Structure 1
Amino acid sequence: MSVPLSAAVTLGLLFFLSVGLNEQVAEGCTCVQRHPQRVFCESDIVIRAKILGSVASTRPNLLAYSIKVITTFKPFNKMDIQVIYSTKICGARPQNGEYLLSGHLVDGVMVFGLCELVWRWDQLSTVQKRNLNLYQTGCACEITSCTGASCLTKNLQRTCLVGVKSSISLGYEEALLAVCLPGRDSSCRWQK
């Protein structure tokens, strides 16, 4: 049985278009690597919570999780949060256990996704846990990446640099264990 040439061409085009769309959807679920302090500062809510399990969602396109809040890092006023939501597309899928979670307030509820802090609490180092209490102090500082000559063109007054380790920047792994804080002269510097 032979397939007419026009049908073969149509099938071929459909195949290549579907591959292209799949790549775009997959790329849409990637995040630019950001320092955890920057994620903290850009979030409405940062908590340490125990995820008790998934529950029926009352909101379309969101997955719901029942939680017990252990510590609230941000905001400072305690919110009574018992259910949090993750986006179905590009959302995080945490298992039961303790997590450091960040997210945004959307219609009065906390929503988080892949680009937020969704870290198992027991996998954070002691230094990272200690730095959580300092991150808010450094929110006036900017944390930005640079490489080579781009490091020299940055306004360094209110900036901590992440890139190739040098006299003015920290490597990414080292920066994860540091916090960017303003000094007495208001310029920002890495603190370890």
Structure 2
Amino acid sequence: MKMSVAVAALLLFLSGSAEFTEACSCSPEHPQQAYCNADVVIRAKVVGRKEVVTGNDAYGYPIKMIQYDVKQMKMYKGPDGAIETVFTGPSSALCGVTLESDGRKEYLITGKMDSNDTLRVNLCDYIESWESLSLTQKKSLGERYQMGCDCKVVQCSSIPCSISDPSECLWTDWVVEGTVQGTQAQLYTCVKRTDGSCAWYRGSTPPKKDFMDIEEP
């Protein structure tokens, strides 16, 4: 009987691990797409870290999370009021994100708000050190990325690849440059034009009317 319970517990643990692994299985996102998909986008410093218990699961086991205390420098997208805490899994195996918490490093943090209005982040969210972002990326946060939220950036992970709808832009950094932080990620935004199609636009300012009126890329 004891052996059956132990086996059942092991199977439950493995099943839970598989679910967490699956939850973290995600493709890289272009910064614009990450911005559009997120509930919250902030620039912040992490000033504290501690492990907390946020409740119990269906089997009565405590749910442990890492709570990061943050000092918000700027909010680009999100609710009214400053974000003061960010929660993530306790380890990378459980989708947790590791951030430096000495208050020296600034991050761009994107994430989702849960039903309790708590910001949660995981390895699938776009989180980068502020200094690693290009000037165009920094200036695009807000209005310029927001302009492209009616478009969809589709990653090309292997050739051949193509878009399936005029409202899509093909993101080729990985196959062309071997990195997801390539030219398109750093310098381009996918923007909707007056004919309803979407196309890449380079620059840190909103597109001019002559670009918006062009029918072909």
Q: Is TM more than 0.5 here?
A: yes
Which ranges in structure 1 are unaligned for 5 or more consecutive residues? 1-19, 166-170
Matched to 1:81, the amino acid is I
Shift, 1:58, TM fit: 4.9
Q: Secondary structure at the match of 1:61?
A: strand
Shift, 1:25, TM fit: 8.3
Superposed, 1:91-170 pairs within 5 Å as 91-96=96-101, 97-106=105-114, 107-133=116-142, 134-146=144-156, 148-151=159-162, 154-155=164-165, 157-163=166-172
Q: Percent same amino acid at aligned positions?
A: 27
Matched to 1:186, the amino acid is G
Q: Residue in 2 aligned with 1:36?
A: 31
**Cα deviation per residue 1:93-135 (whole Å; 9 max; x = unaligned)?**
1113210001101121000011112111111111111121311
Q: What TM-score do the two structures reach when normalised by structure 2?
A: 0.67
- Aligned pair count reads 165
For the pair shown, the structure with the greater C-alpha radius of gyration is 1
Q: What TM-score do the two structures reach when normalised by structure 1?
A: 0.75
Which ranges in structure 2 are unaligned for 5 or more consecutive residues? 1-13, 55-62, 203-217
Shift, 1:183, TM fit: 1.5
**Is 1:174 aligned to 2:177, yes or no?**
no
Whether the 8 Å CA contact 2:30–2:153 is kept in 1: the answer is yes
Measured on the aligned residues, the alpha-carbon RMSD in Å equals 2.7
Q: Residue in 1 aligned with 2:195?
A: 185
